[in-house]
Each structure stands twice: as C-alpha cells, then as structure tokens.
Amino acid sequence: MSVVNIKTLKINNLDFTVREAGKQNDGDLVIFLHGFPESSLMWEHTLSELADKGYYAVAFDQRGYSLGAIPNGISEYSMEKLASDVTELAKVLGYQSFHLVGHDIGAVVGWTVVAKHPKQVKSWTALSVPNWPAYLWSLENDPAQKGKGAYVHRFQEPDKPEQVVAANDFEVLRTLWNGFNDDIVKKYIKMFSQPGVLTGVINWYRALFQTKNNIEYDGIETNTELIWGNQDLAISRASVERNEQYMSGQYRFVEIDAGHWLTEFNTEEIERLIIDHIG
C-alpha cells in the first residue's frame, strides 16, 4: 500500500498536522475530515487505498486537534472558520477543486464547505451525520435523537465537559473507543492529553450554538452520498431520513448494517463506497 507521510502546513496562520498519500499521482485531490473524538489518524488506511487508486489523498488534524492550531475563544471554532481551513488547505496544496469526505462532526464541517463553496467540491461523501438543519431539527423534535445527542447540550457548559472527559484517565473516551486498536487508542490519549486540546475540540460544539450562523444549508447542489450505520450511537434514523429535503443535486443515501465507527469496523465496505462515489 502507498506510504502515508506526515507534515506540517500553515493554513490561515495556524500550523496544522497533515497526513498525505499519493502526492506524486496525477489524480484528483481528496480531502478527508475527521470527527470527535478522533484525528486524521482514523483515515490512514483509506489514504493509502485512495493513493493506490491514483488519487492524492489528504487528511489533517483540524483546528483544536493540531497542536499548532489551538486558538483561544469559542468563536475561533465556528463552522465558517473550520470550513475555511478546508478550502485554504486545498489552496496551499495547489488545487482549485477537490473531492471531500467527512465523518461525525467533521461531516458538519463538510456540509458547510459544500454549502459555502459548491463550485470547489467535485463530490461530497458524508459519513454518519446529515446536513446540519436535518440534525438540528431531529435534536429538537425526535425523541431518539434527543437521547443520542444529549452530550451536545452538556458540552455547552464552561470547563465541566473537559473535566468529565478527562476523568479517570479519559474513561469516557476509552469506552467510546472500545474495540479500537490499542496503539491507536494510545495515540489518541496522548493527543487529548496535550494542553488546550480538550477545550479546543469541545469548542466545536459550543460554537455551533453560541456563535451566529448565517450559512444557508438548503439546496445543496454538490453530488452527494450520505452513508449511515443503522446502529449508530449518535445519529437517529429521523436525522438521516430528513436529509433529502435539503438536497437539490444528485443525492444518494446508503444505509448499512453498522454502528458509528465506520472506518474502524467496516473499513472495506466504506472505502468501496467512497471510491465508487468519487469515481
């Protein structure tokens, strides 16, 4: 398989950790966005797989996760700024357009990118999480989503969420990572133990509700695929079934027999779906 290289790139005056494979290839750029509580590490196998298919595959530790990109203040983690990091990454790499893949709250960033910069995204593959208004509606109206998404409201508090997540050697996160490769868990624990990281990543959730959002998410025109596992611990069926009403372009919804951690436990199936959609 193609080798994954790690480097640092300056984007929006912040230093981001970037994983890449297939830089020498002539194929399109494919950018991958991780969610919580993971990092670009989750995409390493997929980066190699895409590079083997001739693409230039790139994933980066996003704002709050890269040690050189942890700005202070909730407003620094608005979806506008997180999306800007994505488009600026492509620009720094020398590409005007790209394919985009995102998981979990990284998918919310991806939905924001296609809403604000549709001409730059050749295809969009969302894993687990639907468009933001579909999720928000379900969080407010669907009993199942209210239960699955209760943590989003708890994350709005100052300080306490960081304390809860870090308690007992990150017991909450270790429970979420049950079944993950031990070496990967160790790397994640090391990352989340760094000063400022927990506040940075939880600020993503705070910013969703505590900063003004003027983004128009309706009428998504980008060629889109939404992949959802019907045993997802965080996303209800009502969320993903509502998603279609916000689409105006080519759209495909794929339900698979899986949970939330699609790249870890359904690797081959997910990579096939991503590659087929991009192709």
pLDDT of res. 9:
98
Q: What distance in Å separates the CA atoms of residue 92 and residue 8, rounded to the nearest whole number?
A: 12
Q: What distance in Å separates the CA atoms of residue 230 and residue 70, rounded to the nearest whole number?
A: 34
Q: DSSP assignment, residue 157?
A: S
pLDDT of res. 6:
98
Taking only the tens of pLDDT, the chain with its 279 residues reads 899 999 999 999 999 999 999 999 999 999 999 999 999 999 999 999 999 999 999 999 999 999 999 999 999 999 999 999 999 999 999 999 999 999 999 999 999 999 999 999 999 999 999 999 999 999 999 999 999 999 999 999 999 999 999 999 999 999 999 999 999 999 999 999 999 999 999 999 999 999 998 899 999 999 999 999 999 999 999 999 999 999 999 999 999 999 999 999 999 999 999 999 999
Q: DSSP assignment, residue 243?
A: G
pLDDT of res. 200:
98
Q: Where are the beta strands (DSSP E) in the chain?
A: 5-11, 14-21, 29-33, 56-60, 98-103, 121-127, 224-229, 251-256
Which domain does 83 fall in, by range?
A: 5-278
Q: What distance in Å separates the CA atoms of residue 156 and residue 149, rounded to the nearest whole number?
A: 12
pLDDT of res. 163:
98
Peptide bond before residue 37 is cis, with ω within 30 degrees of 0: yes
For residue 53, the domain's CATH number is 3.40.50.1820
pLDDT of res. 134:
98
Place of tokens 């939905």: 111
Total of domains in the chain? 1
Q: What is the pTM of this model?
A: 0.98
